[in-house]
Structure 1
Amino acid sequence: MSTVPAAPPLAADAVVFRTRADEVYAQLKRDVAEFRMVPGDRFTENEVSERLGVSRTPVRQALFRLQQEGYVEVLFRSGWRVLPFDFDQFEQLYDLRMVLETTAARRLCETDRHIDLGLLDQLVSIWLVPAAQRSTHAAQVALWDEQFHCALVAAAGNAEMARVHGDVTDRIRIIRRLDFTKQPRIDATYDEHAKILKAIRAHRGDQAAMLLRAHIETSQAEVRKITLHQVHMARHAPG
């Protein structure tokens, strides 16, 4: 009597591999963002597999995903390489971010436009607080800062603007987070966000846009300076 072979558990395996690939992807992205993998570094899939304790399949999936996002490139017969930071591209993304956010700020000040007041109230509860209640945790402030700028665009009510802004946000996150490695920049972020919110609440569109532009330009310059310093230090670290 013949038996029908059982179907292989493809679905379950796919879930495991997808989960592992996501974990490897997140870890490698953190390694690049925190300069454990320095721009220009070369490595192989086997090296990553051994370091993270996973098979090559999720590693390869994660690397292809990072390749699509512009973090790494595959080298012919010699593994992979962390791509150098493309500062020209970051400058262009910051320019686009500037246009989107200043446009949103002006729209938020138009009294005849429907805006999401709930989002603005949430921002007020975070940024318009006494100095003693401010967070000094860099990772937390970095997250709140990103949410602040995304919420401004979302509150303006244009879903396509918010979608494009979200894409820009994803692409600059790797260097933007460096703006919160020093306490003076955290303090400045609180002060500048508070002024922007006050201008918006007072329906002063030109002032809000001007403050937002200055805030983004300062952050952009600081991030570039810190990024170059971090890359230099990582390359010259002992061992």
Structure 2
Amino acid sequence: MSASREPAAVLPLDSAPATLADQAYARIKQMVFDFTLMPGDRCSESELAQRLEVSRTPLRQALQRLEREGFLQVMPKIGWQVAPLDFDTFDELYDLRVLIECHAAQHLAEAEDRPALAELADIWLVPAAERLADGAEVGRCDEQFHARLVQASGNREMARVHREITERIRIIRRLDFTKSARIEATYDEHARILRAITRRRGDEAQRLLRAHIEQSKLEVRHITLDMLYRARRQA
């Protein structure tokens, strides 16, 4: 696929951190994502500072940022803990995401001016030979697909909430692109959603979008639990 078809990266881990705090943030977050730091694990600032070879001030800034995003929890007089995976909360976030994105799909199906559709079609309505195969890249494109749908609705508050949801579920959602079958399914399902919106079939687009997100939610839960099981056995 040509470079012009690739959306801007949306995962903060992929951009080059500018400060020591940004570097520490990116490295710790990657450790959480890779389950090097397991849900429920505890660690002190001194341990992390030594492990990352960074001073306490930028480290604390990174830890506080990760706490605000829900990845870590502070434990007074003890240190820090990797937040346990709360699938009930993830389910609620996915439910909210469905509501926002279905509203956006209906809006797009009815809108007169729809430049976002052409942009998304250039990425997702491509021959099989031009499809991306790298899971991380597809994950970035997938986030951009759903974000562009919401942004195109013109509702800035909905777009803001959607960005927050995206950040909070990324820890499990990214795992949906670790298997080639799921990558192929993502292309096929996005294509069907785009065609329904283009043909102004709002009800059909909402049905397809809801099924797409629900299936992704089930897949990532299964993959996450399997990865946790394997990581604990190897610990």
TM-score, normalising length: structure 2: 0.89
- Aligned twin of 1:203: 200
Which of 158, 171, 180 does residue 183 from structure 1 map onto? 180
Q: How does 1:227-238 map to 2 (within 5 A)?
A: 227-238=224-235
The one-letter code of the counterpart of 2:71 is: Y
- Aligned twin of 1:132: 129
Q: How does 1:146-185 map to 2 (within 5 A)?
A: 146-185=143-182
Deviation at 1:75, TM superposition (A): 2.3
- Aligned twin of 1:7: none
- RMSD of the alignment, in Å? 1.3
In structure 2, distance between residues paired with 1:216 and 1:72: 26
- Aligned twin of 2:50: 50
CA deviations on 1:125-153 (whole Å, 9 max, x unpaired) are 01000111101000000000000000011
Pair 1:107 & 2:107 matched = yes
Q: 1:154 to 1:114 in 2, by over 3 A?
A: farther
- Aligned twin of 1:30: 30
The one-letter code of the counterpart of 2:101 is: E
Describe the SS at the equivalent of 1:38.
coil
Task: Give me the identity figure in percent.
Answer: 56
In structure 1, distance between residues paired with 2:109 and 2:75: 51
List gaps (5 residues or longer) in structure 2.
1-17
Is residue 70–residue 168 contact of structure 2 (8 Å, CA) maintained in 1? no
In our comparison, the structure showing a higher alpha carbon Rg is 1
- Aligned twin of 2:215: 218
The one-letter code of the counterpart of 2:208 is: L
Is residue 107–residue 153 contact of structure 2 (8 Å, CA) maintained in 1? yes
Deviation at 1:61, TM superposition (A): 1.4
Q: Is the deviation greater in 91-100 or in 76-85?
A: 76-85
The count of aligned residue pairs is 218
Is residue 120–residue 155 contact of structure 1 (8 Å, CA) maintained in 2? no
The one-letter code of the counterpart of 1:128 is: L
The one-letter code of the counterpart of 1:139 is: A
- Aligned twin of 1:89: 89
- Aligned twin of 2:75: 75
Q: Is the deviation greater in 46-55 or in 122-131?
A: 46-55
CA deviations on 1:207-231 (whole Å, 9 max, x unpaired) are 0000000000000000111111111
